[in-house]
Amino acid sequence: MFTLKRMIFCSTIMIMSLSMHAKQDRRSLKSPKYVLIIRHGEKSNEKGPVKFKQWNFAQAKSFAVKGWERAKALSIFFTKDPAMTKYGKIVALFAPNPTQYYQSTHPVQTLWPLSEKIHENVLLHFDLGQEKKLVRHILNQDEYFGKTVLIAYEHDHIPAIGKAFVEQTNTTQVTLPNMWPFSHTPVAESAKIYDRVWVLEFDPETGKIINFQNLPQRLMFGDATA
């Protein structure tokens, strides 16, 4: 009898331990509640000298006037428009680091007016092509847990960010586009689209993506309405 009771006791302790470890594993990813992803604002078609803040490139495409107009409109969109404020206050801004290999300040410039408005620096921890590292960083920061993060990026690499979030959270029930901004968008058309917001919603318990929305910004003349 004593041996049987001991076995039952040990089994109970083991089950409780496994349950605790399972919960810890589920919560090992400190995912935000929402991740918002946009493409940078409009750029010029011709190359020339570009200087913005500490960056100075001899031959790069400059930020177009419409790009600056969109950037300013986005600063209001993300802080005043109920369509976006319902996702909570943005606590972190990310853009790819401008380098000699990615001579573009467009994502940084797109976030600059918003950065000044909400008093959050644009974080440039990762280069273009380091999307997996960017996602891993976002998913492992205590300060982002249950909060809202915004990423401005180069459009050809945005699907790689989405894919990394799906893979690193082991999400199986939600599918993200493999092109910007829709999976069926032709390459030539994709290059012309600046007016979408990807919204990834996460379950704080499991860290998995539970919902994806592809929303119109509706900020500039000619923007999509749906």
Residue 26 is predicted with a pLDDT of 42
Residue 28 is predicted with a pLDDT of 61
SS3 194: coil
Residue 14 is predicted with a pLDDT of 45
Asked if the model's pLDDT at residue 17 lies above 80, the reply is: no
pTM (predicted TM-score): 0.88
Q: Could you give the percent of the chain with pLDDT greater than 70?
A: 88
Helix and strand tally (H, E) in the chain?
Answer: 7, 8
Peptide bond into 96 cis (omega under 30): no
Taking only the tens place, the pLDDT of each residue in 78-116 is 999 999 999 999 999 999 999 988 999 999 999 999 999
Residue 13 is predicted with a pLDDT of 45
Asked if the model's pLDDT at residue 16 lies above 60, the reply is: no
State which amino acid sits at residue 85.
Answer: T
CA atoms 41, 157, 90, 197: torsion sign: positive
| Residue 172, φ and ψ in degrees, nearest 5 | -125, -15
Residue 3 is predicted with a pLDDT of 56
Across residues 117-143, what is the average pLDDT? 98
Taking only the tens place, the pLDDT of each residue in 180-215 is 999 999 999 999 999 999 999 999 899 999 999 999
Name the average pLDDT for the chain.
91
Q: Compute and round to an integer the Cα radius of gyration of the chain.
A: 21
Residue 100 is predicted with a pLDDT of 87
Q: Are 193 and 185 in contact (CB under 8 A)?
A: yes
Exposure on the CB side of residue 23, measured as CA atoms within 13 A: 5
